[in-house]
Amino acid sequence: VSPASRATARPVRATLTHDYIIRTALAIIDRDGLDALSMRKLAAELGSDPMAAYHYLPNKAALYDGVVEAIYAEMDLDDLSLSGGWREYLADSARRMRDVLRRHPKALPIIATRPAYPPSILAMADHSLRLLQRAGLPPSAALDVISCLRAYTVGHVLAELGEPVGGPTTATEDAATAMAAYPHLAAAIATGYRPDEQYERGLLALLDGFARQRSPRQARDATRG
Amino acid sequence: VSPASRATARPVRATLTHDYIIRTALAIIDRDGLDALSMRKLAAELGSDPMAAYHYLPNKAALYDGVVEAIYAEMDLDDLSLSGGWREYLADSARRMRDVLRRHPKALPIIATRPAYPPSILAMADHSLRLLQRAGLPPSAALDVISCLRAYTVGHVLAELGEPVGGPTTATEDAATAMAAYPHLAAAIATGYRPDEQYERGLLALLDGFARQRSPRQARDATRG
DNA sequence: ACCTGAACACCGTTCAAGT
DNA sequence: ACCTGAACACCGTTCAAGT
Q: How confident is the model at residue B84 (pLDDT cuts 50, 70, 90)?
A: confident
Contact: A170, B207; criterion CB under 8 Å: no
pLDDT of residue A2: 33
Calculate what percentage of chain B has a pLDDT beyond 90. 76
Give the C-alpha distances (Å, rounded to integers) separating A21 from A3, A9, A26: 26, 18, 9
What mean pLDDT comes out for the span A111-133? Answer: 94
What mean pLDDT comes out for the span B148-160? Answer: 98
- Find the angle CA(A211)-CA(A214)-CA(A216) to the nearest 5 degrees: 120
pLDDT for residue A175 is more than 90: no
pLDDT for residue B4 is more than 90: no
pLDDT for residue A128 is more than 90: yes
Closest CA of chain A from B2, distance in Å: 39
Nearest nucleotide (CA of A40 to C1')? D11
Cβ-in-10-Å burial (0-12, 13-18, 19+) of B26 comes to buried
**Nearest chain B residue to A129, by CA:** B184
Long-range contact list for A160-164, CB < 8 A, 24+ apart? A160/A102, A160/A195, A160/A199, A161/A102, A161/A105, A161/A108, A162/A105, A162/A108, A162/A109, A162/B112, A162/B113, A163/A33, A163/A34, A163/A105, A163/A106, A163/A108, A163/B113, A164/B61, A164/B64, A164/B110, A164/B113, A164/B114, A164/B115
B37 sits within 7 Å of strand C by its CB: yes
Question: What is the Cα–Cα distance from B85 to B68, expressed in whole angstroms?
Answer: 30
| pLDDT tens profile B5-33 | 333 334 445 589 999 999 999 999 999 99
Task: Write down the mean pLDDT value for chain B.
Answer: 89
Question: What is the Cα–Cα distance from A116 to A119, expressed in whole angstroms?
Answer: 10
What mean pLDDT comes out for the span B65-76? Answer: 95
What pTM value is reported for the model? Answer: 0.91
pLDDT for residue A186 is more than 70: yes
| pLDDT tens profile B89-141 | 999 999 999 999 999 999 999 999 999 888 889 999 999 999 999 999 999 99
Q: Which of B148, B158, B224 to mutate to test the interface with A (most CBs of A within 10 A)?
A: B148
The one-letter amino acid at A121: I
Contact: B114, A164; criterion CB under 8 Å: yes
pLDDT of residue A14: 58
pLDDT for residue A93 is more than 70: yes
Nearest nucleotide (CA of A17 to C1')? C2
Question: What is the Cα–Cα distance from A153 to B122, expressed in whole angstroms?
Answer: 23
**Nearest chain B residue to A146, by CA:** B202
- The helix/strand/coil state of A25 is helix
Q: How far is the CA of A177 from the C1' of C17 (A)?
A: 40
Long-range contact list for A135-140, CB < 8 A, 24+ apart? A135/A85, A135/A86, A135/A214, A136/A214, A137/A214, A139/B184, A139/B187, A139/B188, A139/B191, A140/B188, A140/B191, A140/B192, A140/B194
- Residue B42 CB neighbours (<10 A): 20
Question: What is the Cα–Cα distance from A175 to A180, expressed in whole angstroms?
Answer: 9
Give the C-alpha distances (Å, rounded to integers) separating A87 from B7, B145, B207: 63, 20, 18
CA B167 to chain centre: 20
| Better-predicted residue by pLDDT, A83 or B184 | B184
| pLDDT tens profile A6-38 | 333 344 455 899 999 999 999 999 999 999 999
A31 and A81 in contact (C-beta within 8 Å)? no
| Better-predicted residue by pLDDT, A191 or B217 | A191
B51 sits within 7 Å of strand C by its CB: yes
pLDDT for residue B214 is more than 80: no
pLDDT for residue B77 is more than 90: no
pLDDT of residue B7: 31
pLDDT of residue B173: 67
B44 sits within 7 Å of strand D by its CB: no
Nearest nucleotide (CA of A53 to C1')? C3
Give the C-alpha distances (Å, rounded to integers) separating B90 from A26, A205, B69, B116, B148: 39, 15, 22, 20, 11
B31 and B66 in contact (C-beta within 8 Å)? no
pLDDT for residue B66 is more than 50: yes
- The helix/strand/coil state of A137 is coil
Q: Which residue is nearest to nucleotide C11 (CA to C1')?
A: B38
Beta-carbon contacts of residue A50 (< 8 Å; ≥ 6 apart): A39, A40, A42, A43
DSSP label of A78: T
Pairs of residues, one from chain A and one from chain B, whose beta carbons lie less than 8 Å apart: 279
Q: Which residues of B touch A109 (CB under 8 A)?
A: 109, 113, 165-166
Calculate what percentage of chain A has a pLDDT beyond 90. 76
| pLDDT tens profile A61-78 | 999 999 999 999 999 888
pLDDT of residue B177: 79
pLDDT of residue B215: 67
B103 sits within 7 Å of strand C by its CB: no
pLDDT of residue A173: 67
What mean pLDDT comes out for the span B205-225? Answer: 70
Mean pLDDT lowest among A39-43, A55-59, A178-182, B113-117: A178-182
Calculate what percentage of chain B has a pLDDT beyond 70. 87
